[in-house]
Amino acid sequence: MLGKKTIDADTLEELEEILITSDIGVKTTMELTRNLEQRLSRNELRDGEALRDALKQELLGKLQAHHQPLNLTGAKPFVLLVVGVNGVGKTTTIGKLASRYVAEGRSVLLAAADTFRAAAADQLGVWAERAGVDLIHHQEGADPSAVTFDACKAALARGVDLLIVDTAGRLHTKVNLMEEMKKIRRVIDREIPGAPHETLLVLDAATGQNALNQTRIFQQSAGVTGLALTKLDGSAKGGVVVAVSHEYGLPVRFIGVGEGIDDLRDFDPQEFVDALFQR
């Protein structure tokens, strides 16, 4: 389709279908095609190459509008609250973040406030060991806000640069999740005023449109300020990144491209859009 010699309304209709099936989402797709229709009416889209370039510009514009790398300066300890449903790679992302910031010369402390999932603290403990950082944890089933309280006290006492707090992601008990998140946030803010400084939502890029629903729920319960997209290793279409960032006005901070400890990268809108068109 992008190789066509002439572009007309039918071509844009075809494109609309492709964008929706690429997980760009209905709302964002409609905006994109409306903008492209305006370009077509101004005779700016003379062939497939022009359409391709225009679409890349539109997608890039939507991602760049909210793009901002995570900046840890200005707070010590910087508190990073990590949220997301079970199975998206939350614990792995925390491990990779710990490793990354230790490599940058920062002191890091982890808090295992996901006390409901069996062996969640053990899993986080493996990553903590791998990254060479300490972990604050209680017994399975303990109160998550009690773990958070102890972690905040320890972070202040030890003078660490970064405290990363893991949380439970039980979306099927949405009301409990919301109340728990509010309680955790209250404890953090009471012990370290102004914190958490970042609430990072981890999404599995392969879940497609469900990522939009997850973002809505966590935005309401946890006040999300940034996104990390996991499993962007070629199997996921990745278009949902555009939809979530644009529709919720959130910056994509990191993308996970593999299972290795170094496979977490800063999100680069230009690189991402180029990769979308290479698939």
pLDDT in tens, 126-152: 999 999 999 999 988 899 999 999 999
Domains of the chain: 9-64 (1.20.120.140), 78-276 (3.40.50.300)
Q: How many helices (H) and strands (E) does the chain have?
A: 10, 8
Gap between the Cα atoms of 214 and 216, Å rounded: 5
Whether 242 has a pLDDT exceeding 50, the answer reads yes
Closest CA to 90 of 36, 149, 189, 169: 169
DSSP letters along 182-219, please?
HHHHHHHHHHSTT--SEEEEEEEGGGTTHHHHHHHHHH
Query: Could you report the per-residue pLDDT of 178-213, keeping only the tens digit for each?
Result: 888 999 999 999 999 999 999 999 999 888 888 998
- Using a pLDDT cut of 70, give the percent of the chain over it: 95
3-state SS assignment for residue 253: strand
State mean pLDDT over 21-38.
88
The residue assigned the tokens 């494109």 is 15
Over range 51-71, report the average pLDDT: 93
Report which of residues 40 and 113 the model is more confident about.
113
In this structure, are residues 7 and 40 in contact, taking their beta carbons and an 8 Å threshold? yes
- Give the number of other Cβ atoms within 10 Å of residue 35's Cβ: 16
pTM, entire model: 0.92
The stretch 86-93 carries a mean pLDDT of 91
